[in-house]
Structure 1
């Protein structure tokens, strides 16, 4: 019982990190979004995964040399697929804000991430013929309702703020959120494919609590290629963007921006660090709890952080209540999916 409570606690911390990581990134001034995202990604996708694995593994190069190269390539490609979703997610936050962006993006991710695996495994019929499948489909249907409500709240917000927030764009944000939901499923595919790496990590003496972490080197490495390529291509190709000019800011601005971007990147990585701890403490027979907790707390914290940052300041109270109705519905959907997964064990 103590392990389960600890697991839930780590999931809450991880989901809170996931919902909050964009807050320091939003505070960066006089830098392009692309420079900020690249600096944050340097920490989250490269330095921390490699640094943590260097600490965990008795022989860093020897460990990965012992893994089937085809497996490493596979999880890196799934990581690259997730990388497309990650770029879309960052742009979703940019154009919708945190409370609205997280609600829509995670709602879409919940739907896609729930439906794609059984369809790809040829088990789509179980979604309609079993009790677990029916609960799961109910969760998907409820999630769609929640996404629709949150999207409508965002549309009404856009009408109220027209001309005040230059980058707020519901249409573009919705498109990016759908892309995020589709491509972010690459992370779940990568983690599933990386199970042999977890077992290999345990076999060389890595504590089961940390056994998932070495796989992040290639998963997040694949995502880093996509994210950094997008950022640097934009910085080189778009005349109004310039990495050189961003890095020529006065010393105090440069240090503040770098610290804020790095903080966002570290927080982003910590969501998966603590997710690994949570999953390690939850019994396999209750694995559905991992997905349910992460999605629920993620959406809830996203709404809270967005409100704390003043994203809905000056908006009618009725519209704000509509946002929270949508967020709560998405949380209910996550729990329905969790119940469906429990019946499917």
Structure 2
């Protein structure tokens, strides 16, 4: 379990820093940076790496029922849409509120549903002592995320960033887009849970075809990336055409910006591959525990990045106090769900020992 937590934390660090290079893509419009990121991160890199490293990829997929791929594709298509909606909501309600709303909703969905959707032959922990511990920990994490967002709102107010009045309709629309985006974006972890836990892609790739655990998880991730590729590329192609910004890719200095975009994609994809390893090492509840640690850790890393890049310079003492409290609450929440996962692993070990004795 300890190695699983370490993998989840490493994944969180990479996820927390992947967007940092986007601040320095000079000469690129928003759609140039993020359209390039999704193209390399969702299609080019995953396709090349998976086909190069995974042994007998098509033979692995032949073992999997078709409903698994249809479900994964649909959920990951929604994941792409969710990220687009979130991007739109930022302009309406601001980064702080959008970030806390988005992650609060997505963390709730992506940590609770895997506890309910369990493979055939396994029992859900919902309603048990372990389940109660897990749900309590998730609640703590969501409250920490909300407080983190509130700290961001206080920071922006203290720095005079909210002087422009926004009409109620715009704010409501922004909140609606953000919540809908979070619901759609929950498709990533649910798609991974479907492919790995319900469909058994990772296990088949590892046990039947002799792939290393981290390589086996690439076979799980590829169908997820393909669904998100279609939804995001449709949107960004439209945006680039509408704003006539395709030409930015050929301007002077574009190569440097493109290298930064590719770096973003590498960090992001590495985070998801390592997350797959974390879920594997965390055991039966891995897609719940691992995702909670991933999102919580990413928030903390992103917060520290904001401090290092002076986003909190000039912020009020009150906003900084709430920021510190929110980070402590997030750590407590992670420790609680880690405790629940530890108890579950111990129970499984006891059952295995009893079966061997019998």
**Cα 1:27/1:44, change in 2 over 3 Å:** same
| 1:37 alignment partner, one of 34, 59, 74 | 34
- Shifted more, 211-220 versus 282-291: the winner is 282-291
Counterparts of 1:165 and 1:313 in 2: how far apart (Å)? Answer: 18
**Cα distance in structure 1, aligned partners of 2:10 and 2:225:** 20
Residues matched between the structures, number: 331
Q: Displacement, 1:269?
A: 0.4
The answer as to whether partners of 2:110 and 2:190 remain within 8 angstroms in 1 is no
TM-score (norm 2): 0.78
Change (3 A) 1:119 1:177: farther
Partner of 2:201: 197
Instruction: Say whether residues 1:19 and 2:16 are aligned partners.
Output: yes
Q: For each residue in 1:102-131, what CA deviation from the matched residue of structure 2 results, as whole angstroms up to 9, or x when unmatched?
A: 55533332222234445678xxx975x432
Instruction: Check whether the contact 2:43–2:229 (CA below 8 A) recurs between aligned residues.
Output: yes
Q: Which of 67, 79, 88 matches 1:82?
A: 79
Q: Give 1:320 deviation, angstroms.
A: 1.7
8 A contact 1:14–1:274 mirrored in 2: yes
Deviation at 1:285, TM superposition (A): 7.6
Task: Give 1:152's aligned residue.
Answer: 150
- My pick for the range that moved more, 172-181 or 15-24, is 172-181
Provide Cα deviations, 1:271-291, integer angstroms capped at 9, x if missing partner: 012122333444558776534
Alpha-carbon separation, structure 2, partners of 1:299 and 1:66: 38
SS in 2 for 1:242: coil
Q: Measure, in 1, the Cα distance between the counterparts of 2:20 and 2:220.
A: 27
Aligned to 1:224: 229
The answer (yes or no) to whether the contact 1:133–1:344 under 8 Å persists in 2 is: no
2:210 aligned counterpart, secondary structure:
coil
Aligned residue in 1 for 2:187 = 186
Are residues 1:233 and 2:238 paired?
A: yes
Compared CA separation, residues 139 and 171, structure 1 to 2 (3 A): farther
Q: 1:247 aligns with which of 241, 246, 249?
A: 249
Q: Check the 8 A contact 1:88/1:177 in 2, yes or no.
A: yes
Residues 178/91 of structure 1: CA separation in 2 closer, same or farther (3 Å cut): same
Mapped contact 2:60–2:201 kept (Cα < 8 A): no
Q: Aligned equivalents of 1:317 and 1:143: distance in 2?
A: 23
Stretches of structure 2 that go unaligned for 5 or more consecutive residues are 119-123, 346-358
Q: Which runs of 5+ in 1 are unaligned?
A: none
How do 1:1-345 residues align onto structure 2 when only pairs under 5 Å count?
Answer: 4-61=1-58, 63-64=60-61, 67-90=64-87, 96-97=94-95, 104-117=101-114, 127=126, 129-162=127-160, 175-195=176-196, 196-202=200-206, 203-237=208-242, 241-250=243-252, 252=253, 254-284=254-284, 289-341=289-341
User: 1:304-335 deviations in whole A, cap 9, x for unaligned?
Assistant: 11211222222123312212212332332333
Q: 1:139 to 1:310 in 2, by over 3 A?
A: same
RMSD (CA atoms): 3.4
In 2, Cα distance between the equivalents of 1:69 and 1:10? 30
In 1: Cα distance, 2:105 partner to 2:323 partner: 16
Task: Provide TM-score, normalisation by structure 1.
Answer: 0.81
Quickly say closer, same or farther: Cα 1:163–1:145, change in 2 above 3 A.
closer
